[in-house]
Amino acid sequence: MPPPAAFYFDLASPLAYLAAERVLHALGGPAEWRPVRLASERQSVAREEIERRAQELGLQPLRWPEPFPFDSSLAMRVATYAASIGRVVPFAQAAFRQAFAGGHSLEDPDFVLIAAAACEMHPTAVLRGAEMRSTAERLEATTAAAVTAGVSDVPAMLVGTHVFEGEDALERAAERMRIEAIDLAPSDARYELRVQQMGSSSA
């Protein structure tokens, strides 16, 4: 089995949105979704390129929130709370779609709560969880740990000690996971895994 990976995202990042729509299918193994506050301001200047890439991926036409960039602090605290109750993936997907498919700024608490409601998170519990000091501290700690691991922007994938950043991070991380799966396999299984990998590469 491929080694576990971590997917780092910030809900303010349109590139992380593009990755989030694909991460469940692009990797050859599981990934832990980790919310961090690392969205880069420079992602706002490549709108046409990001729109084109969304079209290539078969996603809904990308709609830009107003304002953009927006302050994702509340949304990211909710994502951190969602992670603590095992709902970070559905919440993040719903929130990304509110922002970049619906064109709604996640600075507005209403749209954050709509995303939370889509994955059956009660609004009162969501707001209470988002305001807890422990939630903010957990988000800060996850962000600091990501930086220590070498993550400087999102989206990013961490496979072992290898960091891959950018919209193509998923493909590079998937390749690394395949390599590590071969390295970790018992010696009598490595040949078969390599043959399977060569076959998939030539397909």
For position 78, which CATH number holds? 3.40.30.10
pTM of the model: 0.86
| Encoded tokens for 182 | 């071969």
What pLDDT score does 190 carry?
47
Helix intervals (H) in the chain: 14-20, 23-26, 47-56, 73-84, 88-100, 109-118, 123-131, 133-149, 169-184, 187-202
Residues 128-153 have a mean pLDDT of 97
Q: How confident is the model at residue 26 (pLDDT cuts 50, 70, 90)?
A: confident
User: Where does residue 49 fall: left (phi above 0), alpha (psi -120 to 50 degrees), or beta otherwise?
Assistant: alpha
Domain count, the chain: 1
What pLDDT score does 17 carry?
96
> Is the pLDDT higher at 140 or at 44?
140
What pLDDT score does 3 carry?
55
Domain containing 164 equals: 5-202
pLDDT score of 5 more than 80: yes
> Is the pLDDT higher at 126 or at 184?
126
Residue among 112, 118, 110, 114 at smallest CA distance from 90: 118
Residues 30-52 have a mean pLDDT of 84
Residues 109-124 have a mean pLDDT of 97
